[in-house]
Amino acid sequence: ILTSAALIGLGVLAGLVMRTPPSEAPRPAIDAADSPPGESAFVAPAAKAVGHEDRNDVGGGRIAVAAVERPSFAGVPKGESPVAPSDTAADEPASASPDVAPDAPPPVAKVVWPKARRMPPEDAAWRRFMNLRRQRPDDEVLLAEGLERAIATEHWPDALWCADRLVELRPDDGRIRFARASLNLRRRAWIDAIDDLEVVVAAEPENARAWHNLAVARQALGQLSGARRAWDRAIALRPESSDALARRGEVFLDLHDWSSAVRDFEQSLAAEPDAVGVRLNLALALWRDGRGEEALGVVEDVLERQPRNIVALNRAARIAWDLRLSEPDGSMRYVERAAALASRSLEAAPNQPEVRRLLQECQAEIRRTRRP
């Protein structure tokens, strides 16, 4: 039987929290957003920094912005089978739009264990753990201690080995399955994570944290229909989750359901007004929904706070360039605005061929209109 102290050790997963900047990668990278008190997000490493991914794009991609829920084992009494709490969520869709990608998950091509460090061979806890692996593979207390030790030293293969053994010994223990799924999310083994999380949500349909992570994994595989259903359930359980709303908005973007995306991004920003990635995604949804003036205003609000944000500069330039067609008599003000924004972007990051082409088009249009 797992002791309370040993189970608390599994909560060291909370210490693996990391923050990555928003990304405009075509598939959802995972980025942390603030979680409720005491519920730090367990985040799979992902995303490129804002400003880098958009340097060959004129602002048409979305930004992924959500966190992955992490397990917590604190306070489980001795001898009691830990049951995962049901008070956490994350984001995304609700429309009946068809999947963009099939629900048959593709194979995970390669496992990369980040920052693995060997435990010191002279360490007593390490020797005890190695003895466990060789001689006592069914000792649940030592397995929990080994898992704690492996996580504390970021030795992910051994952490997963312990989690696998614990699941074999206690297959109905939702919290252990949730912990193993969190480890698999960290190494981007989405299919393995989904397998455990499906078991958890079937047994605990009110477990918002499991629905959250299930949605993240399905979205990462491009299973938009499944991700949308999971986000719907997570949001129904935790409607205040700005993360969940922002991520469901991303799914709506992928499904081209622009008005639903606008709604989710606006609700997310009402709770987290400083979330730049969500604000840029709102601008994208407004733009695609034919509300270019509003979209430009949203991006320019970002530029007031971050005048050298390349993603925002590029997006604003592209929106302004498109708006020239909507107002023929005043089109030049949009062309000049687009040229100024593209020029600022190139000053900050010169190696952007697409942005340079846009600037050249703007300059050519300005020259044509100024000819006598």
pLDDT in tens, 107-141: 333 334 444 455 555 567 667 677 767 777 788 88
Whether 277 and 369 map to the same domain: the answer is no
Looking at residue 136, its pLDDT comes to 76
Residue 97: pLDDT over 90:
no
Residue 94: pLDDT over 50:
no
CA distances from 349 to 13, 52, 53, 54, 355 (A): 37, 9, 12, 10, 10
**Where does a domain end: 289, 313, 339?**
289
Whether 227 and 326 map to the same domain: the answer is no
Whether 16 and 47 map to the same domain: the answer is yes
pLDDT in tens, 307-363: 999 999 999 999 999 998 887 666 889 999 999 999 999 999 999 999 999 999 999
Whether 187 and 315 map to the same domain: the answer is no
Dihedral sign from CA coordinates of 268, 67, 61, 346: positive
Hey, what are 358's tokens? Answer: 């846009």
Contact 278, 269 (CB under 8 A): yes
**pLDDT greater at residue 344 or residue 29:** 344
**294: in domain:** no
CA distances from 8 to 34, 173, 174 (A): 22, 15, 15
Q: Tell me which residue range forms the domain holding 60.
A: 4-289
Residue 37: pLDDT over 70:
no
**365: in domain:** yes
Whether 265 and 315 map to the same domain: the answer is no
- Kindly report the average pLDDT of the chain as a whole number: 74
Residue 200: pLDDT over 80:
yes
Residue 4: pLDDT over 70:
no
For range 227-246, the mean pLDDT: 96
- For 332-341, letters b (16+ CB in 10 Å) and e give eebbbbbbbb
Dihedral sign from CA coordinates of 288, 291, 292, 298: negative
pLDDT in tens, 249-289: 999 999 999 999 999 999 999 999 999 999 999 999 999 99
Contact 185, 44 (CB under 8 A): yes
Looking at residue 153, its pLDDT comes to 81
Residue in this structure with the two tokens 């330039």, named with its chain if needed: 317
Looking at residue 278, its pLDDT comes to 96
Whether 334 and 205 map to the same domain: the answer is no
* pLDDT band, very low/low/confident/very high, at 104 (cuts 50, 70, 90): very low
- What whole-number distance in Å separates Cα of residue 332 and Cα of residue 365? 8
- What whole-number distance in Å separates Cα of residue 45 and Cα of residue 53? 16
Looking at residue 106, its pLDDT comes to 34
- What whole-number distance in Å separates Cα of residue 5 and Cα of residue 356? 59
Please tell me the total count of domains within the chain.
Answer: 2
Specify the CATH number for the domain of residue 276.
1.25.40.10
For range 46-56, the mean pLDDT: 34
Whether 222 and 367 map to the same domain: the answer is no
**Where does a domain end: 261, 289, 317?**
289
Hey, what are 11's tokens? Answer: 């909560």
Type of residue numbered 60 = G
**150: in domain:** yes
Whether 84 and 200 map to the same domain: the answer is yes
138 CB-contact burial (10 Å; exposed 0-12 / middle 13-18 / buried 19+) = exposed
- Residue 350, SS3 per DSSP: coil
**310: in domain:** yes
**133: in domain:** yes
Looking at residue 148, its pLDDT comes to 82
Residue in this structure with the two tokens 């969940």, named with its chain if needed: 244
**Where does a domain end: 262, 289, 316?**
289
- Specify the range with the lowest mean pLDDT, choosing from 73-82, 113-122, 180-189: 73-82
**277: in domain:** yes
**34: in domain:** yes
Whether 181 and 239 map to the same domain: the answer is yes
**209: in domain:** yes
Whether 148 and 207 map to the same domain: the answer is yes
Looking at residue 138, its pLDDT comes to 80
State the distance between the two ends of the chain, measured CA to CA, in whole angstroms.
Answer: 88
Whether 42 and 132 map to the same domain: the answer is yes
Whether 145 and 176 map to the same domain: the answer is yes
Residue 69: pLDDT over 60:
yes
- What whole-number distance in Å separates Cα of residue 268 and Cα of residue 22? 15
